[in-house]
Amino acid sequence: MSEPLILGIESSCDETGVGIVRGNDLLANEVASSMEQHVRFGGVVPEVASRAHLEAIVPVLEKATATAEVDLSDLDGIAVTAGPGLAGALVVGLSAAKALASWLNKPLYGVNHLAGHVAVDLLEHGDLPTPCGALLVSGGHTSLLRVNDIATNIVEVGSTIDDAAGEAYDKVARVLGLPYPGGPVIDKAAADGDPAAIRFPRGLTARHDMAKHRFDYSFSGLKTAVSRWVETQQRDGVTFRIADVAASFQEAVADVLTAKAVDMCQEYGLTHFLIGGGVAANSRLRTLLAERMADAGVELRRPRPGLCTDNGAMIAALGVQVVKAGLPASAMDISADSGLPVETVLV
């Protein structure tokens, strides 16, 4: 039997993505971002994102099908992000997927955005050894997962109890007078800084916190600590290097993310681990995680940075796994679920 040919649509935040995948082979991955429209607001504005999706979905779909050079009638199904994400943005993608599935008379698969960040790694490194650990880290989510089966059994072992790591990057960038989005600019600034210049706190790593939140994250305190440190220096007229603050902040984030990831692998006897999500493109996080996983004897899988951010390929890749698992198609009246838990892979 030939590998499933799936078209995936992603519209959970500010990227409109359409990907086409056959098995683990990526045929097309087209993305239109509305990031520039949100810069002046310092963050994603849901209404602006939704309108941008409406304008981009058809051109992106047309470009993806042209790139893949496949006949839409040959598709085995349409996969689409059903959640989590911004409700209005999700609705645009869902509506497009439903229309396409109805027109082509193809099955519809409403899948989980977070699980897609795990599945996208298959396009680069092949089938996923299970059980496997995963760290999903982005502007809206920071979670540690145990992946027993990508299509049917994902368990959230830990998550952030307040800010996501990417959100903390955005807020610290604002404090430092750097542009939005904060992740890339802080990563760039940190390259010229001293990560040991300032010892910022590592959230939920104290003994009493570890008893209750061993695998959970917290970045709100770190964000506040950076803000107060900067305010104190400015109040006292002390000159400081933004690069040192950026590097020290980034080191605190990478340190706690990787330490808890390794701890989870050791606790559950996991020998394979992957990282996904937009912040997974961060240079320091990728380097430190590779070093610590190697020391722990864990094989690390890291998708290339271009596949870490939101895209349609990850949704198509997950759709392939759902089809191969023989799971039933979604109903045509499924709704967007902005709070869809990662354990629910298929709606």
pLDDT in tens, 23-66: 999 999 999 999 889 888 888 898 999 999 999 999 999 999 99
- Measured CA to CA, the distance from residue 257 to residue 202 in angstroms comes to 9
* Structure confidence by residue, pLDDT tens digits, 282-326: 999 999 999 999 999 999 999 999 999 999 999 999 999 999 999
Given this model, what pLDDT does residue 41 score?
A: 85
Residue recorded with tokens 């396009």: 123
The chain-wide mean pLDDT, for the chain, equals: 96
> Tokens 């810069």 belong to which residue?
39
Domains of the chain: 5-124+307-325 (3.30.420.40), 132-302 (3.30.420.40)
pLDDT band at 338 (very low <50, low <70, confident <90, very high): very high
Per-residue pLDDT tens for 103-114?
999 999 999 999
What's the pLDDT at 288? 98
CA distance 35 to 165: 18
Spell out the residues 6+ positions from residue 64 whose beta carbon is closer than 8 angstroms to its own.
7, 18, 19, 20, 28, 29, 30, 312
Q: Please enumerate, by residue number, every residue annotated as part of a binding site.
A: 113, 117, 136-140, 170, 183, 187, 282, 310
pLDDT cut 70: percent of the chain above it: 100
Query: From CA 47, how far away is CA 24, in angstroms rounded?
Result: 35
pLDDT at residue 281 tops 90: yes
**Distance between CA atoms of residues 103 and 167, nearest Å:** 39
User: Which pLDDT tens digit goes with each residue over 185-218?
Assistant: 999 999 999 999 999 999 999 999 999 999 999 9
pLDDT value for 39:
84
Binding-site entries for Fe cation: 113, 117, 310
Q: Residue 280: what pLDDT? A: 94
Position 43 scores a pLDDT of 84
Contact 302, 44 (CB under 8 A): no
Span 15-20, mean pLDDT? Answer: 98
Identity at 346, one-letter amino acid code: L
Q: Is the dihedral of CA 166, 262, 190, 220 positive or negative?
A: positive
Q: Is the dihedral of CA 37, 139, 305, 284 positive or negative?
A: positive
The end-to-end CA distance of the chain, in Å, is 26
Q: Which residues contact 159 (CB under 8 A, 6 or more apart)?
A: 141, 142, 143, 144, 216, 217
Q: Does residue 89 surpass a pLDDT of 80?
A: yes
CA distance 278 to 141: 10
Compare 32 and 1 and report the one with higher pLDDT: 32
**Cβ proximity of 9 and 28 under 8 Å:** no
Q: Which residue has the tokens 């002046």?
A: 40
The mean per-residue pLDDT over the stretch 64-87 comes to: 96
Q: Which amino acid is at 109?
A: Y
Token pair recorded at residue 343 = 């354990």
70-82 core/surface letters (b: 16 or more CB in 10 A; e: else): bebeebbbbbbbb
**Angle between the 242-268 and 165-175 helix axes, to the nearest 10 degrees?**
170
Question: Residues annotated in the binding site for substrate, as ranges?
Answer: 136-140, 170, 183, 187, 282
- Overall pTM surpassing 0.85 (yes/no): yes
Residue 147 confidence class, pLDDT cut points 50, 70, 90: very high
Peptide bond into 201 cis (omega under 30): no
- Residue 1 pLDDT exceeds 90: no
